[in-house]
Every structure is written in structure tokens, then in C-alpha cells.
């Protein structure tokens, strides 16, 4: 697309005031992407001054990105670095604790009751799980059943107990809650899982994400948390209340999802202090962090990642879910090259994914936003907004830049409102005819002319070279 097309048409003047009827700003308009100058921002992992002053190991000295997440095997060898606020050698975990491993395929109907009273330390539990992983990787399944796609037992309905910093270093006591929102408790025995919170590993649209350890089984997981409003001023803060409600909705929307290209949701916990969603731990980083580190991707890597994203999106849409915030920051990439869609903080479930009147609120991040989100003319929007956003993610992989690079958010909103045009391809980026056709289909101004995720997966551009496999970015 000609980057000067809009200017030459005379239809856009970024210096003018917004036209009559121009909508108010969406829930999240980012400022310009800041220059990547080092600036330390302390990671808050516990509400104490000592922890506020400590920097997360995953904070790589830039505000706009996070250090890559290492594979679990590495963290098992260096537990002190990733769980620095815990006494890893203190016996705090009942052995056996009851329940089953979160790597099993299904949760038990009735938990196994513990037969022993002695306790294990966090280090011992982690070492046992590490040995289990090693046996599985060697193909020795005499004592361990083969694992398929790192499947996890969902923790919904289980009792979840956090081993906090204070509990891990002092007399043992714990807080517990049922593992699903709104559960009624009752007398039915439930499986018990204890967990330990480690380093801050990222920030999403809502809340913070921490490394965590399932201390019952030794499995590395992740936990996404938001703080519960407690003071009068907190409760009057509509933003904070909205964040809490969004996390509850997120957990309800996603607890039944199971797909190889979607980050798996494992459970939910509510305490007087935090709301927590438990997720599978994905080693590696986001597509955005990989782009910042390596630059724009090779063509085959882009094709592979795009096909995987569309596979996950097709599944989401088949379950009636609009993501509404697809961007390179929200696609995680395992070190093996497997992509997983994450961060469902503003996703929505609908009975009819194709119904244009499904939603009318302006949600998402401006630079990845479809024109009909900005100017729906009262008709609303549907799942095709995610297709536009996929086009923006592929644009990032082609160019190594975010869409509309160099432009302010309000200018982009005005441009989308008036022209419905796609982000211009930067000078020096040459797309093949197939790639350009793929781009044009994603960025069709009329959402009805955009293909569905299932249709777009069949595009000829995404065909990989015979025998190709992911071996890194360079």
C-alpha cells in the first residue's frame, strides 16, 4: 500500500479536530512506544518494602520488554534465583499431599487421601519432578506414563493453598480457597494443591504475571494476579474495580479451552488480597520480544507462526470467543517454535461469532485495531476484527515494526475512522505477490470481505517449504 495515498487524497488532516460523531477514546490508548533507554522499575512481588526494592530476574533493564523465560529444566537447577524469597529446604509440603499431578490428563473425581504425615521441602518436590521429566525425555516410561502436549489437569474446584514468603520462612500456616470463581464449597472432599509464587515475569493488559511452582507436584506454572480493592479509595477507583471484574470474566470464559496454540488456563483463586489465574508456563518469550531481539523474521518462520496463530484463533472463534487484543506482545513463542495466544483480558464470548451487532464498545490497542471498532456506524463488530489484528501481527513479523510506526494513537484513530485504510508498508520492505494478497485479505475495509480464520489458514502464502522445521530466528 502507498503510504502517501491517504495524504494525497486530501481526506485526512491530522491537524484538524475530530469530525462530528467521532467516538471517545478506547479503554486503552498507549502513548508512543518509548525509546528503549535503560530504566529500572522495581518488580513488586510482595507488599513489603524489601520486595518492592528488589528487581525481578526477568526484568532485563528495559520498560518495553521482558527477558526470555528459560525452560523449566534450567530453573530446577537454579531455584534460588527464581524463588529467592523462600526457604527452599524447609519441610512445608505434605508427602503425599493427595490429588494428582497437574500433568495428568484428567482430575480425580475423589482425591486420594494422604497416607503419611511427614513433609517435603520445595527443593525436594522440584527435584522429584525434574527426575520425572528426565525419565520421560529419555523415553523411559516404565514408571512414568508418556506425556502428550504437556497436558495439564485443570485445577478448577480444587483447594489452592499458597506458601507465602512469611510462611516459607516462619511457622507454617496457609490460606486456601476453592479453585473456581463462585464455587459453593460444601462437604465434598477436594484435591489440595499448594503453590509458591516466584519472580515477576511480565505484565499484561490486566494484572501481573509471576512464575510459580506447583509445590504439590513440582511443576512450573504461571500465575496472573490483580490486587483486590480493599480501601475506600480503591473501591471508588473504577479502573481497579474493572480490572478485578475482567479477571473473573477471563477465568470463566477460558477455563474450558484446550488447544495447542492457546495458553492453557489451569485454575482460579480468590483471597482477601488477590485474584489469581493459574496458567501453563510457556518458556521463551513473546513474538514482540523476539522481534526486538532478532529483527524481522525469515519468511518461513513468519508463515509457520501465522499458521499456528490462525489455528488457535479458529478454535477460539469456534467456541464463540473474540480475542479483541491480538498483537505480537500477546503471542508467546516456546523455544521449540510453538506459538500460543495469550492475554485474554478483554476477550468476549458471544452466541453468534459472526453477528455484526455483537459488540459496540471500543476495545483493544489502537495500532492493531480494525476500522469498524473505531467507526461501527451503530452496527457493531464481529470476529473479523481479530482477522484485521492477525494482519497487523503478520505485518510486525514482516517489517520488525509495530503497525503505524511513528504515528500517535489519536492520529491513527482519526485515520481509521475516516479512511478505513490499513497500515502502510514501510519503504524497503518488499512483499511477494502471495504475501501481499494475504495482507490485502486481512485488511479488507469491509469486514464481510475478510476471510474467516479457517479460510485464511488455507491461503497459499502459508504453505511451508518441504522439510522445513524451526531452528531459531537466525
The domain spanning residue 431 has which CATH number?
1.10.510.10
Among the listed residues 147, 149, 472, the one whose alpha carbon sits nearest the alpha carbon of residue 284: 472
Question: Stretch 224-235: mean pLDDT, rounded?
Answer: 80
pLDDT of 41 strictly over 60 = no
Same domain, 199 and 58: yes
Task: In whole angstroms, give the CA distance from residue 342 to residue 201.
Answer: 14
Q: How many domains does the chain have?
A: 2
pLDDT of 217 strictly over 60 = yes
**Domain that residue 427 falls in:** 285-462
Query: Which residue would you say has higher pLDDT here, 327 or 133?
Result: 327
Task: In whole angstroms, give the CA distance from residue 321 to residue 19.
Answer: 32
Read off the pLDDT of residues 324-371 as tens digits, 9 standing for 90 and up: 999 999 999 998 999 999 988 788 888 777 765 545 455 678 899 998
Burial 6-40 (b: 16+ CB within 10 A, else e): beeeeebeeeeeeeeeeeeebebbeeeeeeeeeee
Among the listed residues 25, 10, 21, the one whose alpha carbon sits nearest the alpha carbon of residue 410: 25
CB 353 within 8 A of CB 322: yes
Confidence grade of residue 28 (pLDDT, cut at 50, 70, 90): very low
pLDDT at 321: 92
Which one of 280, 305, 328 terminates a domain? 280
Question: Quick check: is 166 in a domain?
Answer: yes
Residue with cell 531452528: 471
Rounded to the nearest angstrom, the gap between the alpha carbon of residue 67 and the centroid of all alpha carbons in its chain is 15
pLDDT at 188: 60
**Cα angle: 206, vertex 210, 213; to 5 degrees:** 140
Which one of 246, 280, 314 terminates a domain? 280
Among the listed residues 59, 67, 62, the one whose alpha carbon sits nearest the alpha carbon of residue 36: 62
Binding-site residue ranges for ATP: 224
Torsion of CA 114, 120, 124, 130, to 10 degrees: 20
Greatest CA separation for the chain:
78
Question: Stretch 386-408: mean pLDDT, rounded?
Answer: 94
β-pairing, 274-280 with 265-270? antiparallel
β-pairing, 192-203 with 159-162? parallel
Same domain, 190 and 224: yes
Complete DSSP assignment for 81-98? HHSTTS-TTSEEEESS-S
Confidence grade of residue 55 (pLDDT, cut at 50, 70, 90): low
pLDDT at 4: 43
CATH number of the domain enclosing 95: 3.30.200.20
Whether 325 is catalytic: yes
pLDDT at 19: 58
Same domain, 309 and 241: no
DSSP E strand boundaries for 228-356:
265-270, 274-280, 285-286, 321-322, 331-333, 339-341, 348-349
Same domain, 183 and 305: no
Same domain, 266 and 348: no
148: which strand partners?
A: none
Same domain, 292 and 406: yes
Same domain, 354 and 229: no
| Three-state secondary-structure class, residue 281 | coil
pLDDT at 379: 75
pLDDT of 291 strictly over 90 = yes
pLDDT, the chain, mean: 76
pLDDT at 372: 87
Same domain, 143 and 244: yes
Task: In whole angstroms, give the CA distance from residue 295 to residue 300.
Answer: 15
The three grid cell numbers given for residue 250, joined into one nine-digit string: 477471563
Task: In whole angstroms, give the CA distance from residue 85 to residue 208.
Answer: 18
pTM: 0.76
Which one of 227, 245, 280 terminates a domain? 280
Question: Quick check: is 15 in a domain?
Answer: no
Rounded to the nearest angstrom, the gap between the alpha carbon of residue 97 and the centroid of all alpha carbons in its chain is 30
pLDDT at 228: 85
Same domain, 450 and 353: yes
Rounded to the nearest angstrom, the gap between the alpha carbon of residue 251 and the centroid of all alpha carbons in its chain is 13
Query: Which residue would you say has higher pLDDT here, 159 or 469?
Result: 469
pLDDT of 222 strictly over 70 = yes
- Residue 136's region, left for phi above 0, alpha for psi from -120 to 50, else beta, is alpha
Among the listed residues 282, 224, 262, 331, the one whose alpha carbon sits nearest the alpha carbon of residue 72: 282
Same domain, 327 and 236: no
Query: Which residue would you say has higher pLDDT here, 142 or 333?
Result: 333
Question: Quick check: is 157 in a domain?
Answer: yes
Binding-site residue ranges: 224
pLDDT at 310: 98
pLDDT of 113 strictly over 70 = no
Q: Of 114-123, 296-305, 328-337, where does mean pLDDT reach its minimum?
A: 114-123
Same domain, 381 and 446: yes
Q: Where are the alpha helices (DSSP H) in 255-370?
A: 287-294, 299-318
DSSP E strand boundaries for 180-264:
192-203, 208-214, 219-227
Question: Quick check: is 16 in a domain?
Answer: no
pLDDT at 463: 97
Residue with cell 496458567: 279
Confidence grade of residue 271 (pLDDT, cut at 50, 70, 90): confident
Question: Quick check: is 31 in a domain?
Answer: no
Q: Of 63, 140, 298, 325, which one is the catalytic site residue?
A: 325
Among the listed residues 308, 303, 453, 457, the one whose alpha carbon sits nearest the alpha carbon of residue 384: 453
Query: Which residue would you say has higher pLDDT here, 154 or 132?
Result: 132
Question: Quick check: is 28 in a domain?
Answer: no
pLDDT of 315 strictly over 90 = yes
Question: Quick check: is 364 in a domain?
Answer: yes
CB 457 within 8 A of CB 314: yes
Burial 202-241 (b: 16+ CB within 10 A, else e): bebbbbbbbbbbbbbbbbbbbbbbbbbeeeeeeeeeeebe
Question: Quick check: is 145 in a domain?
Answer: yes
Same domain, 272 and 412: no
Amino acid at each position: 500500500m502507498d503510504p502517501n495515498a491517504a495524504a494525497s487524497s486530501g481526506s485526512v488532516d491530522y491537524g484538524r479536530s475530530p469530525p462530528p460523531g467521532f467516538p471517545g477514546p478506547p479503554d486503552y490508548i498507549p502513548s508512543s512506544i518509548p525509546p528503549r533507554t535503560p530504566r529500572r522499575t522495581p518488580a513488586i512481588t510482595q507488599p513489603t518494602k524489601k520486595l518492592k526494592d528488589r528487581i525481578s530476574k526477568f526484568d532485563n533493564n528495559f520498560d518495553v520488554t521482558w527477558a526470555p523465560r528459560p525452560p523449566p529444566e534450567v530453573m530446577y537447577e537454579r531455584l534460588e534465583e527464581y524463588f529467592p524469597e523462600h526457604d527452599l529446604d524447609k519441610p512445608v509440603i505434605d508427602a503425599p499431599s493427595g490429588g494428582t499431578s497437574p500433568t495428568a490428563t484428567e482430575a480425580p473425581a475423589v482425591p486420594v487421601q494422604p497416607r503419611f504425615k511427614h513433609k517435603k521441602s520445595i527443593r525436594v518436590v522440584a527435584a522429584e519432578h525434574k527426575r520425572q521429566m528426565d525419565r520421560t525425555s529419555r523415553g523411559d516410561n516404565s514408571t512414568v506414563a508418556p506425556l502428550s502436549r504437556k497436558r495439564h489437569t485443570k485445577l478448577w474446584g480444587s483447594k489452592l493453598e499458597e506458601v507465602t514468603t512469611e510462611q516459607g520462612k516462619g511457622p507454617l500456616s496457609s490460606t486456601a480457597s476453592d479453585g473456581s470463581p463462585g464455587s459453593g464449597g460444601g462437604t465434598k472432599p477436594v484435591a489440595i494443591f499448594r503453590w509458591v509464587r516466584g519472580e515477576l515475569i511480565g505484565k499484561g493488559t490486566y494484572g501481573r504475571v509471576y512464575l510459580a511452582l506447583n509445590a504439590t507436584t513440582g511443576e512450573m506454572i504461571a500465575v496472573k494476579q490483580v490486587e483486590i480493592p480493599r480501601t475506600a479509595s480503591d473501591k471508588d477507583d473504577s479502573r481497579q474495580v474493572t480490572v478485578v471484574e475482567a479477571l473473573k470474566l477471563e477465568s470463566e470464559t477460558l477455563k474450558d479451552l484446550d488447544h495447542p496454540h492457546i495458553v492453557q488456563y489451569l485454575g482460579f483463586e480468590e483471597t482477601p488480597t488477590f485474584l489469581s489465574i493459574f496458567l501453563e508456563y510457556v518458556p521463551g518469550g513473546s513474538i514482540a520480544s523476539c522481534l526486538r531481539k532478532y529483527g524481522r523474521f525469515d519468511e518461513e518462520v513468519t508463515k509457520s507462526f501465522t499458521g499456528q496463530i490462525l489455528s488457535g484463533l479458529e478454535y477460539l472463534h469456534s467456541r464463540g470467543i473474540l480475542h479483541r487484543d491480538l498483537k505480537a506482545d500477546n503471542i508467546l513463542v516456546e523455544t521449540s517454535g510453538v506459538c500460543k495466544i495469550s492475554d485474554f483480558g478483554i476477550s468476549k464470548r458471544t452466541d453468534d461469532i459472526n453477528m455484526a451487532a455483537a459488540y459496540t464498545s471500543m476495545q483493544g490497542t489502537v495500532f492493531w485495531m480494525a476500522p469498524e471498532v473505531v467507526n461501527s456506524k451503530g452496527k457493531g463488530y464481529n470476529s473479523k476484527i481479530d482477522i484485521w489484528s492477525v494482519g497487523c501481527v503478520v505485518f510486525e513479523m514482516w517489517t520488525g515494526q509495530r503497525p503505524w510506526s511513528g504515528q500517535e494513537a489519536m492520529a491513527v484513530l482519526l485515520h481509521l475512522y475516516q479512511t478505513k485504510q490499513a497500515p502502510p508498508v514501510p519503504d524497503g520492505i518488499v512483499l511477494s505477490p502471495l504475501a501481499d494478497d494475504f495482507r490485502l485479505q486481512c485488511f479488507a475495509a469491509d469486514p464481510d470481505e475478510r476471510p474467516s480464520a479457517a479460510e485464511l489458514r488455507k491461503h497459499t502464502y502459508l504453505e511451508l517449504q518441504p522439510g522445513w522445521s524451526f531452528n531459531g530466528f537466525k
